[in-house]
Structure 1
Amino acid sequence: MPQLTLIIGSKNYSSWSLRPYLALAHTGQPFQEVVVQLAQPDTDETIARYSPSRRVPVLQHGDLTVWDSLAICEYLAETFPEAQLWPEDKAARAVARAVTAEMHSSFAALRQHMSMNLRARKPGKGREPGVAEDIARVQAIWNDCRGRFGQGGPFLFGRFSIADAFYAPVVTRFVTYEVELDAVSAAYRDAVLALPALQKWTEEGRQGPSIARYE
């Protein structure tokens, strides 16, 4: 099996990097990490060595390079089908892909005003126009998925899937900004926070250097 290497940004701040990291950790496959510190004078030059898009994350699998977090997760699902990164049921799988794609392309206000920062606590901050609507939509997605497909486990589709990997950074944002959640969403938040891979990432992220641009 060719070597798997995941190139990621600073763990305290890089929500895009966290998503494929969780998916890759879930496969159980050994992999190497290359962490590129963001917002440094040589950041762009360093990332360009790995990524044609000049962005992280990037997956290297032997001679293959895959960039973009969703493309990486899809590749992992195809390469390691035993990990069951998408739900087995066709309808559940379609919805899982839809909510994952929505997370990938939407929620601009939440992303802008509640940026990921694992070590910070900012209660009451980030409540700019559009953020409340994004928070409500996220909770609606979580409630719908848990209600229709969540039997058999604590995650959106019961077992852990790519959808959970994509919403994990939102979970951390809700902790950082102390967002009050309904009962179903709070239980789901706690299940995601209990993931060993997320706990490892969070511990390492909090120990990383502080970057003024993101603080």
Structure 2
Amino acid sequence: MNLGRTKGGPAAPPRQGAALAALAAAQFTVMLATSIVNVALPQIRSGVGLSDGGTTWVVNAYGLAFGALLLAGGRAGDLLGRRRVLLAGLAVFAGASLAAGLAGSPGLLIAARAVQGVGAAAVAPAALALAMNLFPSGPGRGRALGVWGAVSGAGGAGGVLLGGVLTQAWGWPWVFHAVALGTVLVLLAVATLVPRAADRGSGRFDLLGTVTVTLALTCLVWGLTTARGAGWT
């Protein structure tokens, strides 16, 4: 019996599948952080002393930094090496998550959420690019993209459920502590399972172009995140 094939075609080698699982876990963590605070917002507000506007920015600071820096994070991965940028992004993400759980003032909490978004902007494009490098064009890549889409959706939906459970069981700081712990585990999995590769591109970092695009995206994401508060939706 040939264990290397399945009814749907060739199966991914075990090492390849494990690397994809680690990269998908990184994407899951990024998406989880977008929604895990939603249920806990009333407890976060009373625990830190947030105003109405400050409570909104617990969510918006993450989305603004993530969306505005996404292209810059992808370019950094192209130039510096995607695996290196992914590991650095996960480390920043974990540290910011821990800082958010320990924050005792509104300013520190919102700043930590913004730094979380910076880490996510490095993690998401690097993880996707590494996943695509694992699979050549064909059915294998299609299945990998299917896994990616499912994991992204599960992260957003699971954050709401997990946020409620953690808040009720141990309090709102554990919404962030759990993300920090999970991110450390993902970092270790990526460092162990994702192979090193010569994935650094040639060229230079276009600082002017990066700043221009980042400012444009910042304005766009700012408008989208503040539209609700302005009564547009």
| Higher strand fraction (1 or 2) | 1
With structure 2 as the length reference, what TM-score do the two structures score? 0.31
With structure 1 as the length reference, what TM-score do the two structures score? 0.33
| Higher helix fraction (1 or 2) | 2
- Where relative contact order (Cα < 8 A, 6+ residues apart) is larger, the structure is 2
